[in-house]
């Protein structure tokens, strides 16, 4: 059985990822988008939530993520922000030995937060058939693991917005042919501030003055994204479960900031809260959702209260 056929059989009847809406539904339903209002100050965990959290962490300590993207997509920065560190990741092979050469099977971890295990598909941007087959084979292999902590729990696909064409052949192939079963895929549009320049030029062509175009460019960039880019992915055979927008410099005016909802990756205090919230919302399995928010040490209380809808009485490991 081919990898593609395997995942088509294991996917939902509509052919989408997990509980992702069908193609007709995805045209009507807005994709999950991390809002700033999702991240709020909250009270400490209740004793009940703390018990569930401790129990889950005892049974399964590692949340495993495959991160895909071009070499210039800012993947390492994203992982550092999520883990709350500036240290370089440590890469080890299956035997636990440190490795320098790339292999999608190698595990990347940060000493400050070993609860996250990352796999990197470097070289996937070439768009070759072999690279796509390698990614599919890795996803299928991890889906057959018995222990929960050895399975693949989420996929982050990074797409930089700085190029003339928003998507490469590799990216279109992935969302057209690579079903991932129950593993949610979150698209991370990085370097979104590059869209501001395109928006600025378009506003000038529409007759806006330089000053007016500069002020409105960030909000117009989001309008362009919604109109011209987003649906290209959400109308594929295997659309993502959600997406977030990360930019290098966040617009400073409050009205623009609230509209664009993009994270400032140049800010040393940035934590990728939007990505954390979007990923938690995309995970259907309550035990996995709980595991994710536990190992995510930043805004743990907020994530926990939004993720735990009812006690987890059974965990499969």
**Is 181 domain-assigned?**
yes
Read off the DSSP letter of residue 100: -
* Residue 249: predicted pLDDT: 42
Supply the range of the domain harboring residue 25: 3-193+236-300
β-sheet with 107-110: strand ranges across:
90-92, 107-110, 113-120, 63-69, 154-160, 185-190, 242-247, 263-264
DSSP for 3-39? HHHHHHHHS-TTSSSTT---HHHHHHSPPPB--GGGS
Read off the DSSP letter of residue 148: G
**Is 134 domain-assigned?**
yes
**N- to C-terminal Cα separation, the chain:** 27
**Is 201 domain-assigned?**
no
CATH code of the domain covering residue 144: 3.40.50.300
Cα angle 87, 90, 96 (rounded to 5 degrees) comes to 155
* Residue 127: predicted pLDDT: 61
**Is 306 domain-assigned?**
no
**Any idea which residue has 């057209």 for tokens?**
176
Closest CA to 175 of 269, 238, 268, 99: 238
Q: Which residues contact 172 (CB under 8 A, 6 or more apart)?
A: 232, 236
Closest CA to 88 of 110, 105, 67, 66: 110
Domain count of the fold of the chain: 1
* Residue 53: predicted pLDDT: 64
* Residue 125: predicted pLDDT: 63
The predicted model scores a pTM of 0.74
**Is 10 domain-assigned?**
yes
**Is 222 domain-assigned?**
no
Strand, coil or helix: what is 117?
A: strand
* Residue 278: predicted pLDDT: 92
**Is 166 domain-assigned?**
yes
Averages of pLDDT over runs of 10 residues in the chain (317 residues) are 36 42 32 33 57 69 90 86 88 70 86 90 70 90 88 94 84 92 94 91 95 94 93 95 78 31 45 84 84 68 47 36
Q: Quote the CA–CA distance of 42 and 44 in Å, as a whole number.
A: 7
- φ, ψ at 304 (rounded to 5°): -60, -45
Read off the DSSP letter of residue 150: G
* Residue 99: predicted pLDDT: 61
* Residue 273: predicted pLDDT: 81
**Is 308 domain-assigned?**
no
* Residue 245: predicted pLDDT: 92
């Amino acid at each position: 059985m081919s990898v593609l056929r395997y995942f088509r059989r294991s996917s939902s009847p509509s052919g989408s990822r997990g509980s992702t809406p069908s193609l007709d539904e995805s045209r009507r339903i807005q994709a999950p988008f991390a809002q700033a209002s999702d991240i709020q100050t909250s009270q400490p965990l209740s004793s009940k939530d703390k018990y569930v959290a401790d129990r889950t962490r005892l049974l399964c300590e590692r949340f495993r993520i495959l991160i895909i993207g071009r070499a210039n997509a800012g993947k390492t920065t994203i992982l550092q922000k999520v883990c709350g560190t500036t240290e370089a990741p440590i890469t080890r092979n299956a035997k636990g030995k440190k490795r320098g050469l790339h292999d999608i099977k190698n595990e990347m971890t940060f000493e400050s937060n070993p609860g996250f295990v990352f796999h990197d598909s470097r070289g996937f941007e070439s768009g070759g058939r072999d690279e796509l087959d390698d990614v599919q084979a890795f996803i299928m292999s991890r889906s057959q693991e018995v222990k929960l902590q050895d399975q693949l729990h989420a996929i982050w696909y990074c797409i930089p917005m700085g190029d003339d064409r928003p998507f490469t052949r590799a990216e279109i192939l992935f969302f057209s042919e690579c079903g991932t079963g129950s593993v949610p895929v979150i698209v991370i549009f990085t370097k979104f501030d590059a869209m501001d320049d395109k928006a600025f030029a378009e506003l000038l062509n529409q007759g806006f003055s330089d000053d007016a175009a500069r002020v409105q460019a960030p909000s117009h960039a989001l309008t362009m994204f919604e109109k011209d880019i987003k649906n290209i992915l959400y109308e594929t055979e295997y659309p993502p479960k959600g997406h977030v927008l990360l930019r290098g410099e966040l617009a400073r005016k409050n009205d623009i900031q609230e509209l664009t909802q993009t994270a400032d990756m140049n800010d040393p205090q940035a934590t990728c809260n939007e990505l954390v919230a979007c990923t938690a919302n995309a995970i259907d399995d309550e035990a996995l959702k709980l595991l994710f928010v536990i190992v995510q040490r930043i805004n743990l209380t907020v994530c926990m209260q939004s993720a735990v809808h009812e006690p987890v009485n059974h965990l499969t490991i």
